[in-house]
Amino acid sequence: MVLSRARWIKDQHGTAVLEFAILTPVFLFMLTGMLAYGIYFGAAHALGQLAADAARTAIAGQDQSERNTLVAAFIDHNGGAYLLIDPARLSYEIGDNPDDPNQYVVRLRYDATDLPIWNLYPPLPLPSTEIVNGATIRRGGI
């Protein structure tokens, strides 16, 4: 059956399939990007939670040495329990703030090069491969 040109232009059979075939790769690419960015921001959030929990651990210490021991032990033993955090890629700086000895500071650095965000299409703007997060807690007084 041969359709005339006027009837062929008006014929709408199969247009949904054609639209689906054209738009599906676009939607899949967008979904992949959203998932990859979600994983990256999930790791950043988990790193912030780890820093806050580690800083709270410092309250139990009597002096800087004991606080450092407690916080380092907490990070070493619990770093892998936080979602998306690989303890082998985690480093930290801990100690009293030199400008204010009543402030205890925990600064965490995470090498995020293993996260799937780096497999995205290169022209997309990507965040840093190192996630840095920290927390501070006050030791008594005002």
The 10s digit of each residue's pLDDT in 67-117 is 999 999 999 999 999 989 999 999 999 999 989 888 999 999 999 998 888
pLDDT of residue 133: 96
Among 56-60, 73-77, 98-102, 124-128, the minimum mean pLDDT is found in 124-128
pLDDT of residue 135: 95
| pLDDT tens digits for range 6-47 | 665 666 667 777 787 888 887 777 777 777 788 899 999 999
The residue that leads in pLDDT, 124 or 61, is 61
Q: 0.95 exceeded by the pTM? A: no
Q: Is the dihedral of CA 99, 103, 109, 115 positive or negative?
A: negative
Q: Which amino acid is at 80?
A: G
- Numbers of helices and strands, H then E, in the chain: 3, 3
pLDDT of residue 118: 78
Identify the CA nearest to 106 among candidates 132, 84, 88, 127.
132
Compute CA distances 103 → 8, 15, 51, 57, whole Å: 76, 65, 14, 13
The residue that leads in pLDDT, 64 or 4, is 64
The residue that leads in pLDDT, 122 or 103, is 103
Mean residue pLDDT across the chain: 85
| β-strand partners of 92 | 108
